[in-house]
Amino acid sequence: ATMRKDRIERTKTVCTYCGVGCSFEVWTKDREILKIQPDPAAPANGISTCVKGKFGWDFVNSEDRLTTPLIRKGERFVEATWEEALSLMASKMTDIKETHGNDSIGFIASSKCSNEENYLFQKLARSVFGTNNIDNCSRYCQTPASTGLMRTVGIGGDAGTIEDIESSELVLVVGANPAESHPVLATRVKRANKLFNQKLIVFDLRENELAQRADLFISPKPGTDLVWLNAIAKYIIEQDWHDADFIEKRVNNFQDFVDSLDTYTLDYAEEKTGLSKELLIKVATIIHEAKSMCALWAMGVTQHMGGTDTSTAISNLLLVTGNYGKPGTGGYPLRGHNNVQGASDFGTMPEWLPGYESIEDDKIRAKYEEAWGTTLPKEPGYNNHEVVEAIQDGKVKAMYLFGEEMGLVDSNINYVHTAFEKLDFFVVQDIFFSKTAQFADVVLPAAPSLEKDGTFTNTERRIQRFHKALEPLGDSKPDWRIFQDFANKLGANWKYEHPGEIMDEVAKLSPIFAGVSYSRLEGWDSQLWPVNKDGTDTPLLYEEEFGFEDGKARLFPVEWTPPYEPGEEYDLHLNNGRILEHFHEGNMTYRSEGISHKVPEPWLEVSPELASKRGIKTGALVRLKSPYGETEIRVWVTEQVKGKQLYFPMHSMEEKSAVNNLTSSYHDKDTHTPNYKEMDVKMEVIEPS
Ligand code: SF4
């Protein structure tokens, strides 16, 4: 035993932070995490990692870890056994279901957790509780991008691999900050820009690091991306620069699309976006001259009233210019969390079973009913946004949430908190006692990725295994085990002994995962869905066919939705997003010494112009107010932002300095993704410096 204890273990894992999906070995001795060792064979990253992947692991051994179930007793929580916690959940949730109906319970899944865990959670919601009220946090970020792709090319995933991006002649980045949010992917773009003369155009409000290196950095008025996208598509068609041959053979609905662009003249675009006609023509010309173009986008596009339409407009532009089906072309929404792609792929969405098979399709439902031995509800359930409204309206009485800090990261958190208070019963499962957990009736201790086995799917649709390096701390358990124990308390009789068996079940049921198996995911091996039965995967989509029945893509006309503006009194535009060192509310990064030491708190970026007008310097403390709430934060004066633009990093574990005190409940009209990026505020100075 002593010998074993002294041994250094090397375990392959996948990064638990962003959607790039870097894999590497973690070296451990007992519970000590010694180092992260990258390997040239790692498919998404090779020998690269960023600061989070390299130094962001101390949270696993944090004293703040939940190590035992907790049950609320009045205002306090008391420690409980698993038996007590699960029995209480079983009796309360059964009661609520019997009294108020199946759809009185909501389930919130986690894009931090594995594919197998997400699959089991939707199986629990659908087959044990009989509800489709299930969603994951892609509702806060990526659903508009997936929907835009499904409308146009039929598949809600990146068109090719991260490596393919290097072979593109032109990379168009819209509303994204990859150098901080997807650092290792950004390194590839920087490299291609330097070595292969790849052209880079960045459209963003803020001159982020990649923007500073771009051939063209363009900053349109907030919320107007759809206008310039449509105007450039129109101009390209008018110049006869569109790929007529590609469109003829592979794309439907061209004429309708052309007709839909009538309004989007260069004059109109200049007026709405603030970009000159000359600049728009220059961009159109660069696009025309490039033999291949791919488009990368993220929350700067999706988190708007028209986020789905703008995502659609990006894909339309790619189709018009024949930029799909070859390496270095196509749409690349940059997925935020490590498993935001996989959580949706594995069925934690109100309208989709795993692999994007519709819950409303009788044949598909019958297939799952037979496999699971239950009857399934046909109607799509409430999404994350609707479930909050349904709680407010008294329709949803109980909620089960895991690995998701809705109480800080959802938009308009004060409103969300009032909803939590109305719940009759609330289960929160996490690795820490989160803000959300404060509203819970039962809190369950989960195990992070280093303490369990499973797979994550990165932004390229790449499924990769991660392996258990440490035992779960205290009484914590892998999420999949908790779901199984709970389901079995309710008589489900699930018998999974390992996540590999869950994957085998998915492979049998879901055609896009037909050939996925743990035996094909050994070592550094990975598979990019769709995967045929024989195990051949699909690094590049659309080489032969698009994801529609006739194999053709579809141009999808879209109209501009002006951004939400709360009124003149709110005179500053508040943008928000990530910084390199931290991740979301920071529950893991602030608990990692190497990172929190360097960047202990978030700050508000203020332009030199605005700072001098208000008489403030770096270090000043200000209060921001919106119609929904207020928050206090320290200022950093920087030229990264211009004029009346503010940039607020979203990383705050303190409620009083959380950006979502300010954001509203307005949302994308098609997917209900909150319009986080459309917020005007006013600023009061508390301390000038
Ligand atoms: Fe992790 Fe993303 Fe950094 Fe890679 S780029 S190490 S996946 S946070």
Domain ranges within the chain, ordered by starting residue: 2-61, 70-129+338-528, 143-334, 572-687
Cα(518)–Cα(522) distance, rounded to whole angstroms?
7
The secondary structure of residue 558, as a DSSP letter, is -
Mutate to test the pocket of ligand 1, among 49, 55, 162 (most ligand atoms within 8 A of CB): 49
Q: 472 CB less than 6 Å from ligand 1? A: no
Q: 45 CB less than 6 Å from ligand 1? A: yes
Nearest to 542 by CA among 252, 357, 326, 319: 326
Sites in the chain below the pLDDT cut of 50: 1-3
Mutate to test the pocket of ligand 1, among 14, 18, 340 (most ligand atoms within 8 A of CB): 18
pTM: 0.94
pLDDT value at position 1?
39
C-alpha 233: how far from chain center: 28
Lookup: tokens for 213? 């290196």
- Identify whether the C-beta of residue 120 lies closer than 8 Å to the C-beta of residue 284: no
CA of 402 to the centre of ligand 1 (A): 22
CATH of 70-129+338-528, one of 2.60.40.420, 3.40.50.740, 3.30.450.20, 3.40.50.80: 3.40.50.740
Q: Which helix (H) or strand (E) holds 626?
A: strand 621-626
143-334: CATH topology is: Dimethylsulfoxide Reductase; domain 2 (3.40.228)
The radius of gyration computed from the CA coordinates of the chain, to the nearest angstrom, equals: 24
The class of domain 572-687 in CATH terms is mainly beta
Q: 36 CB less than 6 Å from ligand 1? A: no
How many Cα atoms within 13 Å fall on the side-chain side of residue 647?
A: 21
2-61: CATH topology is: N-terminal domain of TfIIb (2.20.25)
Q: 649 CB less than 6 Å from ligand 1? A: no
Atom of ligand 1 nearest to the CA of 16: 1
Lookup: tokens for 627? 């119609």
Q: Is there a common fold for 2-61 and 143-334? A: no
ipTM passes above 0.95: yes
Bond prior to 530 in cis (omega within 30° of 0): yes
Atom of ligand 1 nearest to the CA of 185: 5
Mutate to test the pocket of ligand 1, among 13, 177, 182, 592 (most ligand atoms within 8 A of CB): 182
pLDDT value at position 585?
75
Nearest to 137 by CA among 239, 252, 19: 19
Atom of ligand 1 nearest to the CA of 338: 7
Lookup: tokens for 686? 């508390």
Q: 18 CB less than 6 Å from ligand 1? A: yes
3 state SS of 107: strand
pLDDT value at position 5?
54
Cross-strand bridge partners of residue 295: 172, 331
CA of 184 to the centre of ligand 1 (A): 6
CA of 193 to the centre of ligand 1 (A): 21
Cross-strand bridge partners of residue 463: 457, 527
Give the residue whose CA is nearest to atom 3 of ligand 1. Answer: 50
CA of 68 to the centre of ligand 1 (A): 30
